């Protein structure tokens, strides 16, 4: 976040001539380094009370009221998951809480290590199996059955896949993100029920271990080591029914736009769903703004993590239409939740980009949320320097002979068609008042100039007519 802010703030900075080498983008890592020093110094004081709080919570889990603590742990865990911060709670619980001395004298700490070391008091997280094996699949069924008739086949495939992923592996993000953004009230109820599952299994004396998550694979493999693992099979169906009823009723009462109930989807996915792997990868690249907009490709277990030049080019609706359960914007980056497919999708995108041609770039019509027709909304305050700015804009664009067409677009932009983009002087345009430059195919430029775009367009047309 700091690096992204520094880039946006300083990537065009102009330094005195004797420091000119360090200007522009070269200044960004310098500024980031100094910012990191100050932030690190501040965090050395800020983090101490936070660490004390985490440690106090860990002690509370062991020595205070474990029943309440386990509820709070899973409740907070689910609420932090959308931000990727749930690991802040997982690490101390998994690897620090509690202490057990083995027969050889080795001191073992943490729920997971203590369980495998034979500590009879470990394995207190078994409630996770209730909502991942049974609860969330019940929610998936409710979402499926609540979909509009014409969407049930499509939503059924998505929900069955997401439910199986949760059931088998304990990876819940594809399913949770399917309703998190469109129905946050359901996600809140889900967090409460997940916390209740943890407390219930602890009160009943169940001790279940895990390696990665609360999936069926862990449940089966560790069954012989568990205490009262049969409680999952006994209570699980009740959690399936509980989730189903809560989600079905919530969707109906609040008229929530869960998957399959949204307005008609008109997003063009380029027939990628039925096309080849390269075609799907191409549509993903276009959804992220085209090849030139992508600066870094990465993936974790459930998310495509893409760093981009211009976040405004990312088409979130298209990504969701292609199967993303949600899209999280973080600075100049996007995290598209495609579930366990994410790593393979990253590989397919890399393979496609290695051989792609001009078809990997956005056409002008593909740029999201830009309307090329003028609107009735105009700036309330006219710019008294519009004539001078228009003159400088024309000069920065290579002169009147280089400009084929100009018009105002999307209230704040000038859409310019030029003969040769290579003669464009970005520095001159920036100095003249252009806040951003977007280059598109077919010699088209978008100049971000603010709410007086229509005034500048009129001035430029007048000057071009008399040139």
What positions carry a catalytic annotation? 300
CA triple 298-300-302, angle to 5 deg? 120
* Angstrom distance (rounded) from CA 177 to CA 81: 10
Maximum separation of any 2 CA atoms in the chain, in Å: 94
DSSP one-letter string for 265-326: P----TTGGGS-HHHHHHHHHHHTT-GGGEEEEEE-SSEEEEEES-GGG--HHHHHHTT-S-
Query: How many angstroms separate the CA atoms of 200 and 197, rounded?
Result: 5
Beta strands in 166-236 (DSSP E): none
Angle at 113 between CA 110 and CA 119, to 5 degrees: 90
DSSP 87-133: HHHHHHHHHTS-EEE-TTS-EEESHHHHHHTT-TT--BTTHHHHIII
CA–CA separation, 121 and 205 (whole Å):
10
Dihedrals phi, psi of 251, to nearest 5 degrees: -60, -40
| Spatial distance between the Cα atoms of 87 and 222, rounded to a whole number of angstroms | 23
Q: Which of 255, 296, 84, 244 is nearest to 177 (CA)?
A: 84
Query: Which H or E run contains 440?
Result: strand 436-440
- 324 vs 148: CA distance, rounded Å: 20
How far apart are alpha carbons 25 and 42 in whole angstroms? 26
Q: Is 367 exposed, middle or buried (0-12, 13-18, 19+ CB in 10 A)?
A: buried
Yes or no: say if 124 and 202 are a contact pair by the CB < 8 Å rule.
yes
Distance of CA 420 to the CA centre of its chain: 37
Give the C-alpha distances (Å, rounded to integers) separating 192 from 78, 122, 131, 447.
9, 23, 11, 49
Report DSSP letters for 339-354, one per residue: GGGHHHHHHHHHHHHH
Name every residue whose Cβ is closer than 8 Å to that of residue 280 and which is 6 or more positions away in sequence.
272, 273, 322, 345, 348
In angstroms, the CA 130 to CA 233 distance is: 8
């Amino acid at each position: 976040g700091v690096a992204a802010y520094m880039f946006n703030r300083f990537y065009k900075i102009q330094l005195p001539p004797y420091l000119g080498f360090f200007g522009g983008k070269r200044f960004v890592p310098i500024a980031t380094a100094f910012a990191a020093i100050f932030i690190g110094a501040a965090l050395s004081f800020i983090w101490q009370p936070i660490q004390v709080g985490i440690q106090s919570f860990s002690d509370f889990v062991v020595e205070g009221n474990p029943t309440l603590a386990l509820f709070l742990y899973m409740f907070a865990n689910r609420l932090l998951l959308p931000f990727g911060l749930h690991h802040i709670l997982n690490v101390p619980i998994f690897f620090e809480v509690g202490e057990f001395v083995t027969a050889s004298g080795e001191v073992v700490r943490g729920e997971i290590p203590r369980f495998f070391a034979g500590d009879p008091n470990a394995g207190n997280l078994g409630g996770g199996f209730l909502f991942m094996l049974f609860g969330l699949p019940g929610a998936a069924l409710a979402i499926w059955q609540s979909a509009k008739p014409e969407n049930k086949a499509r939503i059924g495939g998505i929900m069955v896949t997401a439910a199986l992923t949760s059931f088998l592996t304990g990876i819940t993000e594809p399913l949770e993100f399917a309703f998190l953004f469109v129905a946050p009230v359901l996600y809140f109820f889900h967090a409460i029920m997940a916390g209740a599952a943890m407390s219930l299994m602890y009160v009943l004396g169940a001790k279940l271990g895990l390696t990665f998550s609360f999936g069926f694979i862990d449940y089966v493999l560790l069954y012989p080591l568990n205490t009262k693992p049969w409680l999952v099979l006994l209570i699980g169906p009740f959690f399936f029914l509980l989730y189903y009823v809560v989600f079905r009723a919530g969707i109906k009462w609040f008229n929530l736009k869960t998957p399959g109930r949204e307005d008609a989807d008109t997003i063009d996915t380029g027939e990628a769903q039925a096309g080849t792997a390269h075609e799907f990868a191409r549509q993903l690249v276009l959804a992220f703004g085209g090849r030139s907009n992508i600066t870094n490709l990465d993936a974790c277990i459930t998310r495509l993590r893409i760093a981009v030049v211009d976040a405004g080019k990312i088409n979130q609706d298209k990504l969701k239409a292609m199967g993303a359960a949600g899209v999280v914007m973080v600075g100049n980056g996007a995290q598209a939740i495609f579930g366990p497919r994410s790593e393979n999708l990253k590989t397919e995108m890399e393979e496609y980009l290695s051989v792609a041609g001009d078809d990997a770039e956005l056409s002008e019509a593909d740029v999201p949320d830009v309307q090329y027709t003028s609107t009735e909304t105009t700036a309330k305050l006219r710019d008294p320097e519009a004539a001078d700015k228009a003159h400088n804009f024309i000069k920065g664009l290579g002169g009147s002979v280089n400009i084929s067409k100009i018009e105002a677009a999307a209230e704040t932009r000038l859409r310019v068609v030029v003969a040769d983009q290579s003669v464009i002087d970005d520095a001159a345009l920036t100095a003249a008042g252009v806040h951003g430059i977007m280059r598109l195919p077919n010699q088209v430029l978008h100049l971000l100039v603010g709410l007086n775009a229509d005034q500048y367009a009129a001035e430029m047309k007048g000057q071009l007519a008399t040139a």
